[in-house]
Amino acid sequence: MESQLTVLKQLVVLFIAAFLWFFSVAWVNSDTQKTGRNTKFWNTIFFFFSPISLIIYLSLSWKNKLKKRTVTPRADLVLLKGNGEPLFLAQGGGQESLTLDSVKDLIKKALNNRSTDIHLSPKIHSLLTRFRIDGILHDGPSFPERLGTAILSSFKVLAQVDIAERRKAQDGSFIVVADGNTINFRVSTTSSLYGETMVIRILDSKRGLINLNKLGLSPQVEEECNSLIASSHGMILVAGPSGNGKTTTLYAILNRVNTGEKNVISIEDPIEYELAGVTQIPIHSKTGVTFAGSLRTVLRQDPDVIMIGEIRDLETAEIAFRASLTGHLVLSTLHATEAVEVVARLLDMGLKPNFVSSSLIGVLAQRLIRILCPKCKKSYKPQNLEELYKNGLKLGEKDVLYKPVGCKYCRNTGYKGRIGVFELLIIDKEIRTCIDEKASKEDIFSIIKEKGMLTMKEDGWEKVKQGITTIEEVERVLK
């Protein structure tokens, strides 16, 4: 409707301009003849004057239009529901378009500042938004109550969850097409003191796939990882709390394994990154497609390498471990704070010690720490060397460390991006015996320390010395 009106307006203006042009040309013609001036000359000038100015005017407005398009990328977000249908909000004037604009604006902001999550939390008479960037929450815009409720409802429509339900927890997903990229969003709602709280996780597949050598593995750990991955069978687990890059690491390993000579199958909930050459199977627990059920099917598909998104229950663990014993390399993640804890967690789940010891070949535990902003980090000479030494950070007299400052490039946080700190537990003969004998976590830990395993904290200190991060950041993440 709007575009039709502007076309009509332009036509009217064009008509008036043509009318004026015609009369001025006629007047000039008769006037010059009357006064005896050079009629041909003035006629030519007036005849061409108008068309030329029209062309200049049109070319200028075109230029402006082109400029606008390049200044605001992500200008046109296409919002699609989880099933791929476009979002349709009832046309009814101001409120709907304001809501839709706010929704799009929130998504644009989140994508532009590299957020991994958007938090929407209702407070008294308002809706607060926050963005998680590099693992830390930052305040976003807040909205008045009515608009806030409308925004929450729009996200619920997009995620295809029950709009009327405000108490029970609900899950859904939607898709955004921005600059030709398809980005998946996962929505989770639950009720809180002032109403419904929503967290939207952004699964940007372009951001996800990182090469194994870019994760931050020390040369020693990377070499050991490579030899583990080359095994034809056995179980490799990546451990850490959620939101610490386990999936990214798993994908990096899978990408290294995926050379085309092996049949690689993954079972995931959700599929975060598409990997060419890998058969990826999504889990739908709502419709009864479970990890355990899918895993049984996968085993009949002649796989060489199987990736399981996460081991959450005994049933999945048992099938996965059995598969790793029968000639398959199995990769998965487990929620555990450190490498040695994984063994205890598996036994707690109900797996038999000899079952674990004979199939597990390695555990890679990890955390993500923030990287100092390269544009504003400032060097300093550390003072309390003795205290730092006690804490495990061994520095020489001449060592220089860096601290965060803050600039426009890092949004005044002093940090930009994150990198992993790792510890790799290799299950060798000695550790296997420990597991069989149900040795304590502490006993296993002292043995692997003797063998020279680098802990996550030691890996972190190494990155402090290299000027990648700060003492405070390592202490914040690894208390």
Stretch that binds Zn ion, among 144-152, 212-220, 382-390, 410-418 (CB under 5 A): 410-418
Residue placing its CB nearer to Zn ion in the complex, 369 or 435: 369
How many chain residues bind Zn ion (CB under 5 A)? 6
Q: Which of 19, 23, 27, 409 binds Zn ion (CB under 5 A)?
A: 409
Residue placing its CB nearer to Zn ion in the complex, 243 or 417: 417
Q: Tell me the residue nearest to Zn ion as measured from the CB.
A: 373
Whether the CB-CB separation of 308 and 320 falls below 8 Å is answered with: yes
- Nearby residues of 9 by Cβ (< 8 Å), 6 or more positions away: none
Whether the CB-CB separation of 200 and 208 falls below 8 Å is answered with: no
Detail the DSSP E strand segments found in 195-233: 195-203
Q: Least distance to Zn ion from the beta carbon of 62, Å? A: 39
Burial class (CB in 10 A: 0-12, 13-18, 19+), 110: buried
List beta partners, residue 139: 130
Residue placing its CB nearer to Zn ion in the complex, 201 or 377: 377
Q: How far apart are CA 340 and CA 215, in angstroms?
A: 21
Stretch that binds Zn ion, among 67-75, 77-85, 325-333, 407-415 (CB under 5 A): 407-415
DSSP 337: S
Q: Least distance to Zn ion from the beta carbon of 330, Å? A: 42
First vs last C-alpha separation in the chain? 60
Q: How far apart are CA 418 and CA 415, in angstroms?
A: 8
Angle of CA points 81, 82, 86, to nearest 5°: 25
Residue placing its CB nearer to Zn ion in the complex, 155 or 415: 415
Q: Least distance to Zn ion from the beta carbon of 415, Å? A: 8
Residue placing its CB nearer to Zn ion in the complex, 328 or 377: 377
Q: How far apart are CA 139 and CA 118, in angstroms?
A: 10
Angle of CA points 311, 420, 382, to nearest 5°: 145
Whether the CB-CB separation of 283 and 266 falls below 8 Å is answered with: no
Q: Least distance to Zn ion from the beta carbon of 369, Å? A: 16
Q: Least distance to Zn ion from the beta carbon of 115, Å? A: 18
Q: How far apart are CA 21 and CA 196, in angstroms?
A: 64
Residue placing its CB nearer to Zn ion in the complex, 299 or 407: 407
Residue placing its CB nearer to Zn ion in the complex, 122 or 414: 414
Stretch that binds Zn ion, among 310-318, 328-336, 399-407, 435-443 (CB under 5 A): 399-407
Residue placing its CB nearer to Zn ion in the complex, 252 or 373: 373
Residue placing its CB nearer to Zn ion in the complex, 212 or 376: 376
What is the pattern of x (binds Zn ion, CB under 5 A) and - over residues 349-388?
A: ------------------------x-xx------------
Q: Least distance to Zn ion from the beta carbon of 413, Å? A: 8
Q: How far apart are CA 203 and CA 263, in angstroms?
A: 25
Q: Least distance to Zn ion from the beta carbon of 461, Å? A: 23
Q: Which of 410, 421, 427, 456 binds Zn ion (CB under 5 A)?
A: 410
Whether the CB-CB separation of 334 and 362 falls below 8 Å is answered with: no
CA 450 vs. chain centroid, Å, equals 38
Q: Least distance to Zn ion from the beta carbon of 245, Å? A: 22
Stretch that binds Zn ion, among 60-68, 196-204, 347-355, 405-413 (CB under 5 A): 405-413
Stretch that binds Zn ion, among 88-96, 225-233, 382-390, 409-417 (CB under 5 A): 409-417
Whether the CB-CB separation of 424 and 339 falls below 8 Å is answered with: yes
Closest CA to 357 of 444, 258, 250, 262: 444
Q: Least distance to Zn ion from the beta carbon of 455, Å? A: 29
Q: How far apart are CA 447 and CA 370, in angstroms?
A: 31
Whether the CB-CB separation of 364 and 239 falls below 8 Å is answered with: yes
Q: Least distance to Zn ion from the beta carbon of 374, Å? A: 8
Stretch that binds Zn ion, among 66-74, 178-186, 273-281, 402-410 (CB under 5 A): 402-410
Residue placing its CB nearer to Zn ion in the complex, 353 or 406: 406
* Footprint on this chain of Zn ion (rule: CB under 5 A): 373, 375-376, 407, 409-410
